[in-house]
Amino acid sequence: MPFPFGERLRRTFGTSIPFAGNLNPARCRALGVAAFTDGHGSTFASPHPPLHVAAHEAAHQLQHRGETRDLGLGAERHADSVADAVVRGHAPRLLLGNAGHAVPTALRGYQGKGDVRISDTGQSWTNHTKEAYASRQLIKRANGILQGISSAISLKEVSGTNDLGGQLDEPLRRFEPQFQSKEWDDCGRMARDIMGPKGEDEPAKAVISPGGIAAQVPAVRFGEKSPEEQYALALAMDEAMNDPNLSAEEKRKAGSKVLRNYRGVFNTKGNNWVRAQSGKALSATDEKRLRIDEHAIPEIGEAYAILRVNRPDGDTGYPYHWAAVIMDPGGDRITLEATADHNSYEAEDPNWYFETYGTRDPAQTFHAVWQSKSSIWNDAHTLRMRTTDMLPEIEARIRPKTVRIDLKVNTAFDDSGTDDLYLILHTGGHFGTILDGGDTAEGETRTFTKPMEDLWIPGPTIDLTVVEATGLDEEVGKLRWAFPFHKQTLGLAAYGADYTLKLRLV
């Protein structure tokens, strides 16, 4: 039989190997597997297996042919990690190569248990366990933010490196969390402790956009820990605010009125109102406007929360799951998650793990990944949650200062040796603040300044875009400066240009 997804897999792996496939349901049934590979051929129980099964067996054929080693994962975990990457739309090139051990020819049945995830930038590695690696820059930035929000964890570099199979000159460093509170069994309590302040179990706010207006929807009833209340409130606010005839200010007033009236609504109708409101059907347009589900993208120090709606009476499955974001390599998010194994909210259990999610490809988002885990999450919505804003005392110290950026042109982007440069600072929302510069020759330094008071700062980072405007405006590259905005020197090399940027508050 033709190898399932054969042409697609050859393109994905960048190989011309004619993967060999056979159909033998009885043999697979006897082995208790969906497929197996023996030598250079694979046998399937069905002519149309899932992509993950086909990619897993193709990886075994590459192993047996000596086209790749196991990346130190072992034959099965390596093949399954390659298949995970293929299913999520990643080119698995970082998982193939000469790192690790050679895989001897053997009969290998489909097991499907590995889950290595490498960020798009190659700056991090997780595998759904306590083992995780990241660049030192990512670890340092994450710690700055976690410290600023009084998180219950910090990240410590420990013994162990990972160069992604020889792909990196500077290997990633293994890191572990240092808990300053407790290792809670409950996923929500763990997430809220990481979001801070540590030890206080502060109810979280939903960061959502009713009527297309960014808002923080609080847990109105004291001590409420379920995200269902915030979600129901957000939908009620959206009904009042999603009117194209209203100005932005009128929308905000309409939303505030819903919040003011909520206590009276709840006292009259109780949890029945919350359940009915949260169970309303939404379109893809509604989800995008509200910034929920695949559009929910928490920052470091915030969390994902996926909430089941329309739960049947007597349902005993998990009603929700929380995952705190502790790192943000490129557009991806690394979380630290717990899974409740005990019935007590006070229980402690070190059964936590790291996970990586994408934000650009809908199939790689937290929402899609969790919906794929079990049918109980089919009717569910994902929210972006946070417990604290920027700490008031730190904000008071930072706001009077001025952002100063010294940009030195080591090698110019333009062939003339002089670049016409300007910067764009993004601190939240859809629009950036432009800092005009001018012609800067190789070896020269251009200084940009902007009062921090002029920048709206709802989150813990400043995203910096460098633009060269000699001809058409060309985006040379982007950098991220993390709260609490310590003095930092960063390099930017792209498209033949080489710049050094010194960032500080003065």
Residues 376 and 238 reside in one and the same domain: yes
Residue 124 lies in a domain: no
Q: What is the 3-state secondary structure (H, E, C) of 107-161?
A: EEECCCCCCCEECCCCCEEECCCCCEEECHHHHHHHHHHHHHCCCCEEEEEEEEE
> Can you list the positions of beta strands (E) in 129-260?
132-134, 153-162, 172-179, 205-208, 215-217
**Torsion on CA atoms 72, 119, 289, 227, rounded to nearest 10:** 50
Question: Rounded to two decimals, what is the model's pTM?
Answer: 0.63
Residue 113 pLDDT: 46
Residues 418 and 359 reside in one and the same domain: no
Residue 428 pLDDT: 53
Q: Beta strand pairing status for 215-217 and 303-308? A: unpaired
Residues 354 and 294 reside in one and the same domain: yes
CA distance 372 to 382: 14
Residues 406 and 368 reside in one and the same domain: no
Query: 71, 89, 115: which is the final residue of a domain?
Result: 115
The structure tokens listed for 284 are: 């893809």
Contact 209, 242 (CB under 8 A): no
Residue 487 pLDDT: 84
Contact 373, 357 (CB under 8 A): no
Residue 364 pLDDT: 84
Query: 386, 404, 431: which is the final residue of a domain?
Result: 386
Residues 375 and 413 reside in one and the same domain: no
Residues in the chain where the model's pLDDT stays below 50: 113-114, 222, 390-391, 429-430, 458
DSSP string, 385-439: EES--S-HHHHHHHTTSEEEEEEEEEE-SSTTSEEEEEEEEE-SSS-PEEEEEEE
CA distance 73 to 63: 12
The residue among 362, 367, 393, 374 whose CA lies nearest residue 150 is 393
Domain around 406: 394-505
Residue 135 lies in a domain: no
Residues 382 and 401 reside in one and the same domain: no
Contact 255, 215 (CB under 8 A): yes
Q: Is 408 exposed, middle or buried (0-12, 13-18, 19+ CB in 10 A)?
A: middle
Residue 317 DSSP symbol = S
Residues 230 and 295 reside in one and the same domain: yes
Residue 114 pLDDT: 47
Residue 413 pLDDT: 86
Structural domain total, the chain: 3
Residues 382 and 398 reside in one and the same domain: no
H or E, element range at 37 = strand 35-38
Residues 220 and 322 reside in one and the same domain: yes
Residues 271 and 345 reside in one and the same domain: yes
Residue 459 pLDDT: 54
Residue 154 lies in a domain: no
Question: Residue 487, by phi and psi: left (phi above 0), alpha (psi -120 to 50) or beta?
Answer: beta
Residue 249 lies in a domain: yes
Residue 148 pLDDT: 76
Query: 115, 149, 169: which is the final residue of a domain?
Result: 115
Residue 449 lies in a domain: yes
Contact 63, 70 (CB under 8 A): yes
Contact 126, 354 (CB under 8 A): yes
Residues 227 and 319 reside in one and the same domain: yes
Residues 497 and 470 reside in one and the same domain: yes
